[in-house]
Amino acid sequence: MSFKSHIAVKDLNVSYGKAQALKNVNVEIPDKKITVIIGPSGCGKTTLLKSFNRLIDLADDVSFSGEILVDGVNILEPNAELTAIRKKMGLLSQRPTPLPMSIYDNIAYGPRIHGTKKKKELDKIVEFHLKEVGLWEEVETRLDEPASKLSVGQQQRLCLARGLAVEPEIILGDEPTSALDPISSKRIEEKFLVLKDKYTIVIVTHILRQARRLADYVIFLYFGEVIEQGPAAQIFENPTQELTREYMKGIIS
Amino acid sequence: MNRRRLEEFFFQGLMIFSTLVIFLSLVLILLDIFIKGLPAMSLAMLTQGPHGGFYLGKEGGVLNAIVGSTVLAGSATVISFLLSLPVVLYLNVYLKKNSGFGSFVRFSLDVLWGIPSIVFGAFGFTLMLFFGLRASLLGGIIAVSLLVFPIMSRAMDEVLKMVPRELLEISYSLGTTRLEAGLKVVLRQALPGILTAVLIAFGRGIGDAASVIFTAGFSDRVSVSLFRPVATLPLAIFYQLGTPFPEVQNRAYASSLILTMLIVAISVVTRLITRKYRSFIVK
């Protein structure tokens, strides 16, 4: 198996207090592909995802060891530049979380902080990214309205656009469709399939069918340990581990 | 009838009773102030300072106290807001939820909140003696700032605690610093609550007599200056009620009416100004 890896995790251990959430995790995330992390609830999927942009730092009593190399730089270093690491990765959370401001300002928030001040440039960025997620036609005339007035499905696309507006290289999705209706979920999934040409995408999900639809590469986590990882076809058709086979059949969940 | 339905019935009764007690107290206090204060109300009360013999029932008004109270409580509110903001941002954005230091700070503020205002007055007075200040607007501002700081910061803290943590995560994930996330996202989300906190503190500050009695003193002059004594409405009410003349006592009620209306007006105006931002809040 050979691919260009974008994120490489080496011997990652994460604990919350005394509870160990990840045990000796070694994974490689391929560049410009969709990697799906699957596994039962509470097995450390979200923890692994949030290690990538160091959001695990916010949790109480968290401690970690090991290495996560993004473009060859270890982001777990104590003096790592967190804002630069996080800017590289757009995050889609489980529930769409618009910021308490207008639709326009939601998208412009990131670029403004990173130095784009001119109204014309911001207008362009907002329009471009709203079109990129297929939301432009729906909100074109009401950019000044509160983002919270959009439907949940629209909000999630807005969140995607907001993440893309800071020009990340990686998109992280933490069960990004779990709060959405089937049609909105489908739209988000379609976006991922288009976006993977430009971005490395990592998605956490517990929906196996979604994983089958999206994944190029799969990581199966079980109680904090990586049981199996590999190209989607191999994991879904010919898993080498008994646990993976049982999970695929729905014996364990 | 079964026991659970009785319980339900009983507690509903209690809730209605409490609501009535609170509502009636408010109505009765307002009625009392209006009935006794309105007849004594005049344009002179609002537009003039006390002339000679005002406290014996002669001409004049309480403009000195209106101006003094507004300036004093206004400045104290601004100062304590500037002190509270870093405190609550630190507690809610920089510290983790289970921080021991955070609980210690909150406990300290709660204790400060419970200290009687006369103690803040006396403490302010000691500070003033140390710095060689006499009773003055500045002294009053210091004492009232100390008095309202714990109230404002704890009220703001409770509001900021309610801001969903996801908003912080989202902001960080876009590569912002904690300060940017705090100022641009958390404060915007919490704005209505922060305003309420500021208004509560202002109301407490402008209505307190004990903290200003030694520190701000009293003055019949309408103009204010930082280093000279200044009149305040609560003390004006206190002095007028303390006279043996019914017409002067009634003016105390007119002054209370002015104080109440001042607080109402400021609350309404602030709410109107910030109504636009309310709609942006994420629920």
Residues A185-239: pLDDT tens digits?
999 999 999 999 999 999 999 888 899 999 999 999 999 999 999 999 999 988 8
Residue A65 has pLDDT above 90, yes or no: yes
pLDDT tens digits, B147-204: 999 999 999 999 999 999 999 999 999 999 999 999 999 999 999 899 999 999 999 9
Chain B CB contacts of A87 under 8 Å are 174-175
Query: How many CA atoms does the CB half-sphere of B91 hold within 13 Å?
Result: 25
Residue A252 has pLDDT above 90, yes or no: no
- The pLDDT of A158-162, averaged and rounded, is 95
The distance from CA B77 to its chain's CA centroid, rounded to whole angstroms, is 8
Q: How far is A181 from chain B (nearest CA, A)?
A: 19
Q: Are residues B94 and B206 in the same domain?
A: yes
Distance CA B239, CA B233 (A): 10
3-state secondary structure of B214: coil
Q: Is B170 on the interface with A (CB under 8 A)?
A: yes
Q: Are residues B21 and B125 in the same domain?
A: no
Q: What pLDDT score does A31 carry?
A: 92
Distance CA A98, CA B113 (A): 36
% of chain A beyond a pLDDT of 70: 98
CA of A98: which chain B residue's CA is closest?
B282
Give me the interface pTM, i.e. the ipTM.
Answer: 0.91
Q: What pLDDT score does B121 carry?
A: 94
Residue A253 has pLDDT above 70, yes or no: no
> What's domain A1-88+170-181+194-253's superfamily in CATH?
P-loop containing nucleotide triphosphate hydrolases (3.40.50.300)
Cβ A53 vs Cβ A68: under 8 Å: no
Look up the domain containing B36 and give its range: 3-40
Nearest to B175 among A60, A83, A93 (CB): A83
Q: Is A80 on the interface with B (CB under 8 A)?
A: no
B57 or A22, greater pLDDT = A22
Chain A CB contacts of B96 under 8 Å are 58-60
For chain A, the maximum distance between any two Cα atoms, rounded to a whole number of angstroms, is 57
Q: Is A159 on the interface with B (CB under 8 A)?
A: yes
Residue with tokens 């409580």: B73
pLDDT tens digits, B17-55: 999 999 999 999 999 999 999 998 889 889 888 888 888
Q: Is B174 on the interface with A (CB under 8 A)?
A: yes
Q: Are residues B55 and B90 in the same domain?
A: yes
Distance CA B110, CA A122 (A): 45
Residue A1 has pLDDT above 60, yes or no: no
Residue with tokens 């109504």: B275
Residue B213 has pLDDT above 90, yes or no: yes
Q: Are residues B13 and B79 in the same domain?
A: no
Nearest to B188 among A87, A97, A100 (CB): A100
Compute φ and ψ for A69, nearest 5 degrees.
Answer: -100, 120
Distance CA A58, CA B94 (A): 9
Q: Are residues B32 and B51 in the same domain?
A: no
- List chain A domain ranges: 1-88+170-181+194-253, 96-167
Q: Are residues B148 and B18 in the same domain?
A: no
% helix, strand, coil for chain A, step of 5: 40, 25, 35
Total domains present in chain B:
2
Residue A3 has pLDDT above 80, yes or no: no
Task: Give the A:B interface size as CB pairs under 8 Å.
Answer: 89
- The pLDDT of A128-152, averaged and rounded, is 92
Residue B223 lies in a domain: yes
Nearest to B173 among A55, A84, A95 (CB): A55
% of chain B beyond a pLDDT of 70: 100
List the CATH number of the domain containing B271: 1.10.3720.10
CB B170 to CB A87 under 8 A?
A: no
> Which residues does B124 contact at the CB level (< 8 Å), separation at least 6?
B139, B140, B142, B143, B146, B211, B214, B215
CA of A107: which chain B residue's CA is closest?
B174
Confidence band, pLDDT 50/70/90 cuts, at residue A114: very high
pLDDT tens digits, B156-165: 999 999 999 9
Q: What pLDDT score does B54 carry?
A: 85
What mean pLDDT is reported for chain A? 91
Tokens linked to B1: 């009838």
Distance CA A141, CA A147 (A): 13
Residue A251 has pLDDT above 90, yes or no: no
Helix and strand numbers, DSSP H then E, in chain A: 10, 10
Q: What angle do CA B73, B78, B79 make, to 5 degrees?
A: 95
Q: What pLDDT score does A2 carry?
A: 59
Q: Are residues B24 and B115 in the same domain?
A: no
- The pLDDT of B88-101, averaged and rounded, is 92
Residue B283 lies in a domain: no
> Judging by DSSP bridges, how do beta strands A34-38 and A89-92 pair with one another?
unpaired
What is the reported pTM? 0.86
Q: Is A146 on the interface with B (CB under 8 A)?
A: yes
Nearest to B98 among A60, A102, A172 (CB): A60
